[in-house]
A and B are shown apart, each in its own frame.
Chain A
């Protein structure tokens, strides 16, 4: 290819100088010059060549940095072909040249990889990390919450004593001591703390009709403690947060907010998973204690009754599986795993005592 006209900046002044430019293909050098400048040459290898839509800019030298600007479309095409044919093009440029479709594919693959690690690797790692958290942490976390909680709530000491007695007769597969507390409240619910405190509200006790339901409830809550669900949840949430903030640290606010909320909603699936596990292992506890498993589905009916005023929130926004789904899978478990149960008169007696004790 013959020489062309190009623009040259010598790095000392801003004057644009018109030059003749030619490439010596064989020696990989370019030669440029003008009547005023004379001729100069430079190696193609040492030059930084960048392509800006319709413009090729060659920079070379250090101080001063000299610049040649070529805007002849034909010649740019020729130079680019020469560079790629002779392997002078950098590997970076090769990646850039892959084009927007391949780039989109790469982007989607990286996103897929991130999603994969978020959905599969992260829960696994978080689960493993729980082993590293000392048991004393559970105790401290639970104890602190418990102290705070009892300060603002009224304990029903008579019922608490009876519930402790009730629980004494049961086998919970537990590795740590469980403490049972009855709190006066209309709330139809119960919850477990990581240090083994299990709190039952009188609102739920009042609705119960059979001791088997109470066994189901305690079995469910005991499983939360046994399986360290609180700490698992914490580990997963922290890991999820770390991953998201690591990836999106440079992303803009909109995307970060979307991701943050998505993370929150997704972590609810873990919560629901833990509830399900507590239901199923609670069932095992009923089995060990030879208690009628129907107590569990009845328990769910009570919960449903007690909360019926509330509008049922869609499952994906809830920390618990929807009650109907729970009743369904528990009934299925009952059907598939039949065992012999008998009426436990002792438990029945204590349960009736609890029901008959009027709150002071």
Chain B
């Protein structure tokens, strides 16, 4: 009996290491070849280019020395692109028809409400697609959020933000974040995000004023605080075991990252973009620590495949920069 207890305590803490192994020259090659093919095909190669680049970035990221993988294909994203295009053509069509028939007010109303309504749908679709196409050790991630519920969070957030002249925005952003992250699965591991709107509001307010007072210098420390707030509120759960995420990023770290990237961009006239991406990924991988007791050898495949990339492409159209 006593022996099993000691065995369990030995098993308690596991070691987890995140790593990024990409190099600037490799990524530069991919970006340039993609650029060339996109120019030659007048843009039609874009979905394939995006798949290649995501695949490289995911494949260069590791957890405990095993790489992540992105299985999305150009073909899937191209189909999604066509569907997204149809959605936008219909929206603009309604606008044009309404102008022709002099029912502009109705037309504009439908147009803007449609546009606004697309945002949660795009977020939903993007997460569903991206998570399903991402894996580690062959185990897929998944997003199990409900479209209607996300829509509800979104509409409530927008309305309350308008009513409170933007103050509710902090709660809105965190509700959205918590909803999305708490619906992410990694096999039979569940993600959870528990970021409080009030803490975020204080963080934003404090950072904003300190940044102004210090002529922007504080903004790097502000970034590190926001980053830590996001990261530290994410955890993973499996049965009674868990993994907590922890940020070790500092303001000085962010200063070095951003200033360095800026110098690279300016002095290479933008050609150094790939190297800045690699620096950023390295920074994130080195500054997120995982602590907990989930045995990563015991994850099993639970999530379905989802290959419809429409949401992903609508996000592209809307220029929503969705990152993990």
Q: Which residues of A contact B (CB under 8 A)?
A: 9-16, 50, 52-55, 57, 59, 63-67, 69, 92, 95-96, 98-100, 103-104, 106-107, 110, 113, 251-252, 254-255, 258
Take A50-B59, A107-B35, A110-B39 as given contacts and tell me if A10 and B138 are in contact as well, using a CB distance cutoff of 8 Å.
yes
Take A14-B299, A50-B59, A59-B69 as given contacts and tell me if A106 and B137 are in contact as well, using a CB distance cutoff of 8 Å.
no
Q: Which residues of B contact A (CB under 8 A)?
A: 21-23, 25-26, 28-30, 32-33, 35-37, 39, 52, 55, 59-60, 66-67, 69, 71, 135-139, 187, 262, 265-266, 269-271, 273, 296-301, 305
Nearest-neighbour CB distance to chain A for B158, whole angstroms, equals: 26
Nearest-neighbour CB distance to chain A for B209, whole angstroms, equals: 24
B39 touches A98 (CB 8 A): no
B55 touches A96 (CB 8 A): no
Q: Tell me the nearest residue of chain A to B55, going by C-beta.
A: A50
CB<8 Å pairs between A and B, sample of 24: A9-B138, A11-B301, A12-B138, A13-B299, A14-B138, A14-B187, A14-B297, A14-B298, A15-B298, A16-B137, A50-B55, A53-B22, A53-B23, A54-B21, A57-B69, A65-B71, A100-B25, A100-B28, A106-B33, A107-B35, A251-B270, A252-B265, A255-B269, A258-B269
Q: Which residues on A sit within 8 Å (CB–CB) of B296?
A: 14
B21 touches A15 (CB 8 A): no
Nearest-neighbour CB distance to chain A for B46, whole angstroms, equals: 10
Report the separation of the CA atoms of residues A50 and B71 in the bound assembly, to the nearest whole angstrom: 12
Q: What is the predominant secondary structure among interface residues of chain A facing chain B?
A: mixed
Nearest-neighbour CB distance to chain A for B64, whole angstroms, equals: 10
Nearest-neighbour CB distance to chain A for B285, whole angstroms, equals: 14
Q: Tell me the nearest residue of chain A to B52, going by C-beta.
A: A92
A252 touches B33 (CB 8 A): no
Take A53-B21, A69-B66, A252-B265 as given contacts and tell me if A103 and B28 are in contact as well, using a CB distance cutoff of 8 Å.
yes
Take A14-B297, A255-B265 as given contacts and tell me if A104 and B271 are in contact as well, using a CB distance cutoff of 8 Å.
yes
Nearest-neighbour CB distance to chain A for B48, whole angstroms, equals: 9
Most chain B CB inside 10 Å of its own CB: which residue of A11, A52, A66, A113: A52
Take A52-B67, A100-B28 as given contacts and tell me if A63 and B138 are in contact as well, using a CB distance cutoff of 8 Å.
no
Report the separation of the CA atoms of residues A57 and B305 in the bound assembly, to the nearest whole angstrom: 21
A65 touches B66 (CB 8 A): no
A110 touches B138 (CB 8 A): no
Q: Which residues on B sit within 8 Å (CB–CB) of A54?
A: 21
B28 touches A65 (CB 8 A): no
Most chain B CB inside 10 Å of its own CB: which residue of A14, A106, A107: A14
Nearest-neighbour CB distance to chain B for A290, whole angstroms, equals: 54
Nearest-neighbour CB distance to chain B for A70, whole angstroms, equals: 12
Report the separation of the CA atoms of residues A324 and B266 in the bound assembly, to the nearest whole angstrom: 36
Q: Which residues on A sit within 8 Å (CB–CB) of B67?
A: 52, 55, 57, 69
Report the separation of the CA atoms of residues A8 and B201 in the bound assembly, to the nearest whole angstrom: 47
Q: Which residues on A sit within 8 Å (CB–CB) of B39?
A: 110, 113
B32 touches A106 (CB 8 A): yes
Q: 17 other contacts beyond A14-B136, A69-B67, A96-B30, with CB at 8 A cut-off? A: A9-B137, A11-B138, A13-B300, A14-B138, A14-B296, A14-B297, A14-B299, A14-B300, A15-B297, A15-B298, A65-B71, A65-B135, A67-B138, A95-B33, A104-B28, A113-B39, A252-B270
Q: Which residues on B sit within 8 Å (CB–CB) of A9?
A: 137-138
Report the separation of the CA atoms of residues A67 and B139 in the bound assembly, to the nearest whole angstrom: 10
Q: Which residues on B sit within 8 Å (CB–CB) of A59?
A: 69, 71
B139 touches A13 (CB 8 A): yes
Nearest-neighbour CB distance to chain B for A181, whole angstroms, equals: 37
Pick from A13, A16, A104, A258: contact of B301, CB under 8 Å = A13
Q: Tell me the nearest residue of chain A to B139, going by C-beta.
A: A14
Report the separation of the CA atoms of residues A110 and B38 in the bound assembly, to the nearest whole angstrom: 11
Nearest-neighbour CB distance to chain A for B305, whole angstroms, equals: 6
Nearest-neighbour CB distance to chain B for A81, whole angstroms, equals: 19
Q: Which residues on B sit within 8 Å (CB–CB) of A52?
A: 21-22, 59-60, 67
